[in-house]
Amino acid sequence: MPTIYRLVKYLTSATAVLALLTTAPTAVATVPEPVATKALPQATAAAADTWQPPLSTQGRYIVDARGDRFRLKSANWDGAQGSWTGSGSITDPANHHAGQDSYGIPLGLDRAPLPALLADFHALGINSIRLPFSNEMIHATAPVPDVAVAANPQLRGRTPLQIYDAVVAALTQDGFAVILNNHTNTSRWCCGIDGNERWNSSQSTQQWTDDWVFMARRYATDSRVVGADLYNEVRRDVLDDPNWGSGDGHDWYSAAQQAADRILTEGNPNLLIVIEGINWTGVPVDGLPHDRPTLTPVRTLSHTLVDAHKLVYSAHFYGYTGPRHSGATGIGETHDARYQDLTRDQLYQVLADQAFYVTTEGQHYTAPVWISEFGIGANETGSAARTWFGNITDYFADHDADFAYWPLVGWEGHDDWALLRYDTAGRRYGILDQGDWRGTAWSHLMTAPTRTGTITPVPVWRMLTTDHGDQVQSLRVRAGGDWDAGAYKAACPDGLRLIGLSHTSGRGLCTDITAGDLRAAGNAQTVVTDERHVPAGGDWASGYTKLQCPAGQFLIGYSRRGDRVSAALCAPGRTPLGATGRTVWFDRSDTRPADLAGGDFASGVYKGQCSADEYAAGIAFTTRVGSTAGPAALLCTPLKP
């Protein structure tokens, strides 16, 4: 969200550090139950019948239950994440962002009835809402004051969570898709050094994932609640940076993986899982390391969920920030370029490098990219900022991108960034007015040609990693229990087969290319720990230990103890499989198909990979002294007899 990143200021402020350590939300024993919500009048009759939930992904596209493209044309309806800026009395509106006290609920409910708000949302042309919330909001038990819902008296006496319930119900009844967004830990305005830097800044990772399971279950019966946006703008605090894959308590990659798997297995298997890149690392001072990584780490370490068609990546772009610029002015400002300082071509290259490369088909990281925040003020007069807004909306239009504008609702005379602003009498102002300079760019974005209709299925590629523990992503395998106790284990998501391995690092590559779901019905599987299934005269890796699947079975997983291969996991095929294979060695160099399908799933180490018309039927390795005991060869066998 638009704010100045004030890290250096906070680093020099002992008071701020003390405040950071004392802003944890107050714990309560119970969470309010939903209050029954009376059906609200439809603002329009059309939207509810134009798409069919739930949503999933097909390559770079989001699709509905019929397989038709569903482009997220969204806006952020903020407020429930909190608006207090962290200093002064919380009861004084002057101490809230833009002078707007949200009372911990979506903005505007004091000024316009819900049906009127929804009608205005439809007039914008959007089809979906990113709806922020804080963990503190979930546990708050006090009802909001009547003034907070003055234009919606039916909501009086309710807690913030119960009002959030009512807003969700109103939106989905009116045909909007809703993406739940965990924006903050505490109900404090984001995004500086504020106790909300990471998912676990003011709470434990366990509490964070528990809250996500709670929220997923709470709306599981509402099919138009379509997504879980895990956390907003993960960034550095006073002492440390977040990271992507180191395995420690600040590992955003690992935390997102954990939350995603719990949401899909314990909460609601139908939700899209939205994972934002890292927003900021380092200290914004010339000469010291600092960066805005966004989605760049995904290229070498992407997520693999238990459902291979639920992952969406996201990123934020504002003109006043930059690839290595925090957005600060004065203290904390560096000489790095802001996005609005870049030429059109430079901006387009940065957008591709930092985010949109993820939409490239045929890679282990391929997924839809949702720019879940961008925006600018109606009162902006700077030519560079205005040009940036035109350029970035052109890019979104030209690249058929999914997007969400920040923010949707504000108060007239307070937040000129809002698409729609309301005065105390409920009169509407904003981008729908003829005088709003942003209207031209917005109209182009909303009306530019877009792909519609059925999206043809494309092959899925997903990586496996045992860097710091198990990655068993098959629910069918999980149902069978621990198949190699004490080892690091990996298994492909259901519907995919193992097709590639790395010599070191414990990485694997899964796909459904050519054959689709190859596995027979049921949960039958074979754990192979010796050479008993190598047929007589079938020594395909002489002098090496060979873990070969039984005839008619194929590799879906593997395990390791340290650097040594521990076991191969095999499953029976649903159709007859080929029997005579070839040996693919990769202990001294890469051996992969010429098209490098699936991408670099184990950056910097040797890899082996079967062809698209083959399945992996065995793993060979050596235990010779002085040799690496990781996978050295794959037995690659034709899919058809």
Q: 49 CB contacts (<8 Å, ≥6 apart)? A: 175
pLDDT at 2: 53
Flag whether 62 is in a domain: no
Torsions phi, psi of 582, nearest 5? Answer: -125, 155
pLDDT grade, residue 49 (50/70/90)? low
Whether residue 385 sits in one domain with residue 314: yes
Global pTM reads 0.93
CA distance 567 to 573: 19
Whether the per-residue pLDDT at 23 is higher than 80: the answer is no
* Residue 498 shares a structural domain with residue 622: yes
CB 601 within 8 A of CB 492: no
pLDDT of the residue at 217: 98
Instruction: Give the CA angle between residues 347, 349, 351 to the nearest 5°.
Output: 70
Let me know: does 490 contact 464? Beta carbons within 8 Å. Answer: yes
Q: Are residues 411 and 486 in the same domain?
A: no
Is 315 within the bounds of a domain? yes
Do 497 and 465 belong to one domain?
A: yes
For 563, counting Cβ atoms within 10 Å of its Cβ (0-12 exposed, 13-18 middle, 19+ buried), the class is middle
Residues 400 and 511 placed together within one structural domain of the fold: no
H or E element, residue 220: none
Do 536 and 630 reside in the same domain of the chain?
Answer: yes
- Cβ count near 514 (within 10 Å): 16
Q: Which pLDDT score, from 0 to 100, does residue 47 have?
A: 47
- Tell which of 447, 480, 512 closes a domain: 447
DSSP 128-140: EEEEEEEHHHHH-
Rounded alpha-carbon distances, angstroms, from residue 483 to 92, 525, 559: 59, 10, 9
> Residues 570, 529: contact at Cβ < 8 Å?
no
> Do 441 and 580 have their domain in common?
no
From CA 639, how far away is CA 616, in angstroms rounded?
A: 9
Q: What is the mean pLDDT of residues 157-165?
A: 98
CA distances 19 to 83, 85, 286, 349, Å, are 17, 12, 27, 40
Mean pLDDT of the chain: 92
Q: Does the residue 20 lie in any domain?
A: no
Render pLDDT for 264-291 as a digit per residue (tens, 0 to 9): 999 999 999 999 999 999 999 999 999 9
Q: Which of 178-192, 321-335, 590-604 has the highest mean pLDDT?
A: 590-604
- Answer yes or no: do 518 and 422 share one domain: no
Q: What percent of the chain has pLDDT over 70?
A: 92
Q: Report d(CA 60, CA 54) in Å as an integer.
A: 17
Residue 18 lies in a domain: no
CA–CA dist 529, 115 (Å, integer): 63
DSSP-assigned letters across all residues of 475-530: HHHHHT--SSTTSEEEEPPTT-EEEEEESSTTEEEEE-TTTSS-BPSS---EEE-S
Residues 10 and 238: their CA atoms lie apart, in Å, by 7
The total number of structural domains in the chain stands at: 2
Q: Is the pLDDT of residue 19 over 50?
A: no
Over residues 560-579, the pLDDT tens digits come to 999 899 999 999 999 999 99
* Sign of the dihedral defined by the CA atoms of residues 438, 443, 449, 454, in that order: positive
> How large is the average pLDDT for residues 291-299?
97
Buried b (16+ CB within 10 A) or exposed e, 64-90: beeeebbbbbbbbbbbbbbbbbbeeeb
408-452 pLDDT, tens per residue?
999 999 999 999 999 999 999 999 999 999 999 999 999 999 999
The verdict on 469 and 441 lying in the same domain is no
Q: Residue 24's pLDDT is what?
A: 34
What is the reported pLDDT for 80? Answer: 97
Q: Does residue 474 belong to any structural domain of this protein?
A: yes
Q: How confident is the model at residue 50 (pLDDT cuts 50, 70, 90)?
A: confident
| Per-residue tokens: 126 | 């959007």
Across 69-73, average pLDDT: 98
Task: Tell me the DSSP string of 526-592.
Answer: EEE-SSTTSPTT--SSTTSEEEEPPTTEEEEEEEEETTEEEEEEEEEBSS------EEEE-SSS-B-
User: Tokens representing 120?
Assistant: 């205005």
**Mean pLDDT computed over 472-478:** 98
Does some domain include residue 5? no
- Domain for residue 525, yes or no? yes
pLDDT on residue 418: 98
- HSE on the CB side for 257, CA within 13 Å? 22
Query: 447, 482, 511 — which closes off a domain?
Result: 447
Whether the link from the prior residue into 368 is cis, omega within 30° of 0, is: no
Question: Is residue 195 very low, low, confident or very high in pLDDT (cuts 50, 70, 90)?
Answer: confident
Q: 350-364, pLDDT tens digit by residue?
A: 999 999 999 999 999
Q: Which residue has the tokens 């071509």?
A: 345
Single-letter residue type at 623: T
> Beta strands 281-282 and 177-184: pairing type?
unpaired
Q: Which helix (H) or strand (E) holds 42?
A: none
Give residues with Cβ within 8 angstroms of 88, minimum separation 6. 94, 95
Distances (CA, A) of 112 to 148, 540, 579: 11, 73, 69
Same domain, 603 and 628: yes
If you average pLDDT over residues 54-80, what whole number do you get?
Answer: 98
User: pLDDT (tens digit, 9 = 90+) per residue, 209-251?
Assistant: 999 999 999 999 999 999 999 999 999 998 899 999 999 999 9
Q: How sure is the predictor about 1, in pLDDT bands with cuts at 50, 70 and 90?
A: low
For residues 168 and 178, what is the distance between their CA atoms, to the nearest angstrom? Answer: 7
93 three-state secondary structure: helix
Mean pLDDT of 178-191: 94
Range of the domain at 77: 72-447
Same-domain pairing of 252 and 121: yes
Q: Which two tokens stand for residue 333?
A: 């400002």
Which of 8-17, 114-123, 338-347 has the least mean pLDDT? 8-17
Q: Which of 447, 480, 510 is the last residue of a domain?
A: 447
Asked whether residue 117 is domain-assigned, the answer is yes
Residue 400 pLDDT exceeds 70: yes
Please give the Cα distance from 495 to 478 (Å, whole number).
14
Distance (Å, whole) CA 482 – CA 465: 17
> Could you tell me the CATH number of the domain that includes residue 285?
3.20.20.80
Instruction: Report how far residue 47's alpha carbon sits from residue 35's, in angstroms, rounded to the nearest whole number.
Output: 25
Whether residue 263 sits in one domain with residue 115: yes
Query: Three-state SS for 266?
Result: helix
Distance CA 388, CA 377 (A): 12
The whole-number average pLDDT for the span 116-127 is: 98
